[in-house]
Amino acid sequence: MAFRWLSFLLLALPVLALPQTSSKEAQSFGCSTPANIPFNDDKLPDPFLFNDGTPVRSLTDWSCRRQQLASLIQGYEAGTLPPKPPIVTSTFSQNGLTGNLTVTAGFPGNTTTFSSPVTFPNGTVPTEGWPLLIAYSGLSIPIPDGIAVLTYDNSAIGEQNDQTSRGVGQFFDVYGHNATASAMSAWVWGVSRIIDVLEVTPAAHVNTAKIAVTGCSRDGKGALMAGAFEERIALTIPQESGSGGDTCWRLSKFEQDSGDVVQQATEIVQENVWFSTNFDNFVFNISVLPYDHHSLAGLIAPRPMISYENTDFEWLSPLSGFGCMTAAHPIWEAMGVPDNHGFVQVGNHSHCEFPSDLNPTLFAFFDKFLLGKEANTTIFETNEVFNGTVWNPSQWINWTTPTLSH
Ligand code: MCU
């Protein structure tokens, strides 16, 4: 008992002494992270409010808020992302500039094994190892010299053909075909296991502090989820992820209601298994979601992210992408690193084709965050002319951006 009172005093003293820095942990003796809460708001929810409505003021507060958002997003739409299982082993082989990484993960008597080809740059291995780009389903963006690429067969981990893919794939062989995880959460689990083994495989010469992830379209949605839930990812590059990716559910609905033919939540849950079955319960009532995808992207902050969108495809919901990332940007601003978040939206190219005139923007992010070079990453641009559907920030964002204290 005495010990508990002593703990109380020790925890309460800093709060009493420093009323300005309201640490949620100190106030509540822990971060409460329910999977759902009562909520209803047509606007984009304030990421800087805790579930109980109190403000997020410091980076310590944010680390709790981040956990709350992660739990809500898994609760409503992503399903449960399981932690590292007890068995995670690997083999690695290399022949010239090509390697192969095999991961075995799971439980005694219940493991799965998957392999990923890796290509290495020419030249001398840096002391810390090569930076690595994990490319969902193969690479669809250019990369500068000096970065290794691992091709991740995410569809083998969680199938994504149509509704018949529910619970199908190597993740579900281990966790059960009724696991709540969506295909995208299953993919995150696989990425995390790849990083687990790379951390203990010096022969692969990968700098595990410099791992990026990318993917296009459905795999862009997946790359965003991976960056959001796996904190060891140093750079996240979703390409043309569209609805369910760097767009917001509320904004895609607005776009659709305004007469554009975009993908919105009601359609996406019919089309594929990127989201949990629980999300079906909310797609006609989006305003009850206590988050939107500006906050999903915000889970990445302060780590860097740049996303690309394509204005030629209405289905990708261009207004929603621009508006959602405009609403996400303040999360990096609040942390004092606005240049760690970029967004580029242009047209005149086919879906998942990367126009070479955008290379300087992409390479700036690679240079600065993977290769340790100087680069200007103040990049936030669109060439979209929002004709019929008007982006009006004050219609969606009724909160202000705090400066989070350190
Ligand atoms: C943009 O990503 C998806 C989109 O959500 C789907 O509706 C469509 O069928 O496929 C796109 C895609 O993955 O294209 C390769």
Q: By alpha-carbon position, which residue is closest to atom 15 of ligand 1?
A: 217
CA distance 281 to 56: 29
287 contact partners, CB below 8 Å, separation of at least 6: 40, 41, 42, 250
Residue nearest to atom 6 of ligand 1 (CA): 218
Q: Which residue has the higher pLDDT, 27 or 276?
A: 276
Which protein residue has the closest C-alpha to ligand 1 atom 13?
218
Identify whether 167 is part of a domain. yes
Atom of ligand 1 nearest to the CA of 240: 1
**pLDDT mean across residues, the chain:** 93
Q: Is 271 in the pocket of ligand 1 (CB under 6 A)?
A: yes
Tell which atom from ligand 1 comes closest to the C-alpha of 244.
5
Task: Residue 158: name the closest of 225, 235, 212 by CA.
Answer: 225
ipTM, 2 dp:
0.96
Handedness of CA 371, 223, 84, 107 (dihedral sign): negative
Check pLDDT > 60 for residue 16.
Answer: no
User: Among the atoms of ligand 1, which is closest to the Cα of residue 243?
Assistant: 5
Q: Whole-angstrom Cα distance, residue 276 to residue 131?
A: 33
What's the full length of the chain, in residues? 406
Question: How many Å apart are CA 332 and CA 169, to the nearest integer?
Answer: 35
Task: Report the distance separating Cα 108 and Cα 324, nearest Å.
Answer: 43
Is 16 part of any domain? no
Q: Which atom of ligand 1 is nearest to the CA of 316?
A: 1
Q: How many domains does the chain have?
A: 1
Among all residues, which ones are annotated catalytic?
Answer: 217, 351
Residue 344 per-residue DSSP state? E
Structure tokens at 54: 């109190």
Q: Which amino acid is at 128?
A: E
Question: What's the token pair of residue 110?
Answer: 């219940």
Residue 304 lies in a domain: yes
- Quick check: is 38 in a domain? no
Taking the centre of ligand 1 as the mean of its atom positions, its distance from the CA of residue 155, in whole angstroms, is: 14
Alpha-carbon distance of 348 to 358, in angstroms, equals: 12
Owner of token pair 């090509």: 98
β-bridge partners, 104: 89, 113
Q: Whose CA is nearest to atom 1 of ligand 1?
A: 217
Q: Is the shortest distance between the CB of 217 and ligand 1 below 6 Å? A: yes
- 333 annotated among ligand-binding-site residues: no
Residue 260 Cα, ligand 1 centroid: separation in angstroms? Answer: 17
Judge whether residue 13 has pLDDT over 50: no
Which residue out of 159, 221, 263 has the highest number of ligand 1 atoms within 8 Å of its CB and is therefore the one to mutate?
263
Domain annotation covers residue 2: no
| 221 labelled binding-site residue | yes
- The answer to whether residue 72 sits within a structural domain is yes
351 C-alpha vs ligand 1 centroid, how far in Å? 9
Residue 263 Cα: closest atom of ligand 1: 7
CA Rg value for the chain: 21
Q: What is the pLDDT of residue 216?
A: 98
342 close to ligand 1 (CB < 6 Angstrom): no
Q: State the average pLDDT over residues 218-236.
A: 99
Pairwise CA distance, residues 280 & 245, whole Å: 17
Find all residues with CB under 8 Å of 397, minimum gap 6, and list them.
43, 44, 326, 327
218 within ligand 1 shell (Cβ under 6 A): yes
Cα torsion 258, 271, 244, 44: sign: positive
Distance 217 CA to ligand 1 centre (A): 5
- Percent over 70 (pLDDT), the chain: 92
User: Sheet holding 87-95: strands in order across?
Assistant: 87-95, 98-107, 110-119, 148-152, 130-136, 206-216, 235-239, 305-310, 341-346, 380-382
Does residue 1 register a pLDDT over 60? no
Q: Is ligand 1 within 6 A of the CB of residue 242?
A: yes
**Are 190 and 174 in contact, with CB atoms under 8 Å apart?**
no
Pocket residue to mutate for ligand 1, from 184, 218, 268, most atoms within 8 A of Cβ: 218
- 325-384 pLDDT, tens digit each: 999 999 999 999 999 999 999 999 999 999 999 999 999 999 999 999 999 999 999 998
Any binding-site annotation on 263?
yes
Neighbour-count burial of 337, counting CB atoms closer than 10 A to its CB (0-12 exposed, 13-18 middle, 19+ buried): middle
Distance CA 72, CA 92 (A): 37
Kind and range of the H or E element at 150? Answer: strand 148-152
In a domain, 37, yes or no: no
What is the distance between the alpha carbons of residues 170 and 176, in angstroms, rounded to a whole number? 10
**∠ CA 175-179-185, rounded to 5°:** 90
CATH of the domain at 356: 3.40.50.1820
Ligand 1 atom 14 nearest Cα = 217
Give residue 272 CA to ligand 1 midpoint distance, Å. 10
- Kindly give the distance from the C-alpha atom of residue 400 to the centroid of ligand 1, in angstroms, as a whole number: 33
Residue range(s) defining the domain that contains residue 79: 59-395
* Residue closest to 370 by CA, chosen among 236, 170, 224, 189: 236
Contacts of residue 329, Cβ cutoff 8 Å, sequence gap at least 6: 338, 341, 343, 380
Give, as one character, the DSSP assignment of residue 125.
P
* Global pTM value: 0.93
pLDDT band at 387 (very low <50, low <70, confident <90, very high): low
Which pLDDT tens digit goes with each residue over 29-44?
589 999 999 999 999 9
Q: Cα(344) to centroid of ligand 1, in Å?
A: 19
In a domain, 112, yes or no: yes
Is 271 labeled as ligand-binding? yes
- For 239, 268, 283, 298, the CA distances from 163, given in Å and listed in that order, are 24, 11, 16, 29
Angle ∠(240,245,249) on CA atoms, nearest 5: 125
Question: What is the pLDDT at residue 2?
Answer: 34
Strand pairing partners for 132? 148, 211
